[in-house]
Structure 1
Amino acid sequence: MALNEKHMWLIAYDITDPRRLVRIHRYAKTVAIPVQYSLYACYETARGILGIRDALADMINDREDDVRIYQLPQRLRVARFGSRSLPKGLLVAEGVMPLANTL
């Protein structure tokens, strides 16, 4: 993967301490778009996501907290259920293979 090629990433976390949770939530909102509680999406290069990973690693307690970063595939299949749409600023369109009852 080229370090300057952008990809869609999901960042998910489970933080045990309320103070760390607030600090990580504030940081995550600066680098990604909230999708759901403790789940964020960003369009970033490999170099950029490594910087985000390192910043998050410095904020957590690695014995108590769990942070995961997933690179989404280029041809993403998306299914959405319920009444809420995607957050403002998050558009999944290019390369999406829709499923029944989806976006």
Structure 2
Amino acid sequence: TGRDAPAEALSTGTVQQLYLSLRFALAESYARTARLPLLLDDVTVNADGDRHPRLAELIAQVAAEHQVLVFTCHDRTVELLEAAAPGARRLELPSSRTGNDVATGPRRLGLAAG
């Protein structure tokens, strides 16, 4: 809306998206001297339905210039990233978790290299 808002008024998803934007800006600034890979762990987990696909497209745009590794266990995120970055490589890692851990399925790693 263009109005100032206290940080406490922002949703978790909005705060995470602001941090993601800052990371992308830092990567772009630092790329003037060296390109480092960006490691992103479930950065879309708190995105709402409208923002989730747009974040995948933004990640794909950044991946065109930088190496980006996206870690996620969410099938929807994998689908959106594959649609936004058709040339991306996908690696699926077997789960190493046992016992009472929450995750029981495979961890997914989406890899987009620029």
Q: Same fold (TM over 0.5)?
A: no
In proportion to residue count, which structure has more strand? 1
Higher helix proportion? 2
TM-score (norm: length of structure 1)? 0.27
Higher relative contact order (CA 8 A, sep 6+): 1
Instruction: Give the TM-score taking structure 2 as reference length.
Output: 0.25
The structure with the larger Rg is 2
